Amino acid sequence: MTPAEIRKQLRITRNTLTPSQQSKHAQQALQNFIQLLKSQTDFNRPQKIALFLPQDGELDTHKTIEFLWNKTEHQIYLPVLETKDEWHMAFVQYTPQSVMQNNQFGIKEPYAATKYNLSGEQIYWVFMSLFAYDKNGIRLVMCGGYYDRPYAFKLNSESHTTKLIGWAHSCQQTESLLPSEPWDVPLDGILTETGYSSFLTERTFC
């Protein structure tokens, strides 16, 4: 199938989940997220953690955001497109007091003066939405390369500490390998309602 056909199919798949299933998956994802926090020494001190606001059947993040606000000292950041002209995407801190605005796609994002916008290299733990992913951590997202450009440095550096983690329903994994381009930045891991998996081991390609 073409990328467009895969997007269409997986959008239908995740939108067939009932509200009850969505709520259950969100709670299970939160528990898996908490276990990930406990397993990583990074989280022994406050971190900047990027998440996203779900739409169109995406695995919900609200329970996790509320947990971080109420139970931890970590700071939450959301991706924003209304940023510096020379940046493709940035990150802005998200709090219960954030002033929200719609971006060009009608997605809500927190408003902040551009001097408070952070670059991709300033956010070390990024949990991102996607349409599909495969066993190698190749992901299929919206067109535009919004996460690829801010994290292109990961393709050329083995010393980076930034982690890109997919946040999705397990039904969004494809059986076959997804097509990819040289500029596509793969995931370091995936978190679903079934658990967390790392892609940091050797990848296989056909």
Q: What is the mean pLDDT of the chain?
A: 90
**What tokens appear for 195 in the block?**
């658990």
> 39-88, pLDDT tens digit by residue?
999 999 999 999 999 999 999 999 999 999 999 999 999 999 878 877 88
Q: Which residue, among 155, 112, 148, 136, has the nearest Cα to 201 in the 3D structure?
A: 136
Kindly provide the residue ranges of all beta strands, DSSP E only, lying in the chain, ordered along the sequence: 48-50, 75-80, 90-93, 100-102, 108-110, 125-128, 132-133, 139-140, 163-167, 189-192, 195-198
> 121-165, pLDDT tens digit by residue?
899 999 999 999 999 999 988 756 678 888 888 887 665 788 999
Q: Look-up: residue for tokens 């060009």?
A: 104
Q: Please tell me the predicted confidence (pLDDT) of residue 201.
A: 53
Distance CA(206)–CA(192), nearest Å, equals 25
How much is the pTM? Answer: 0.90
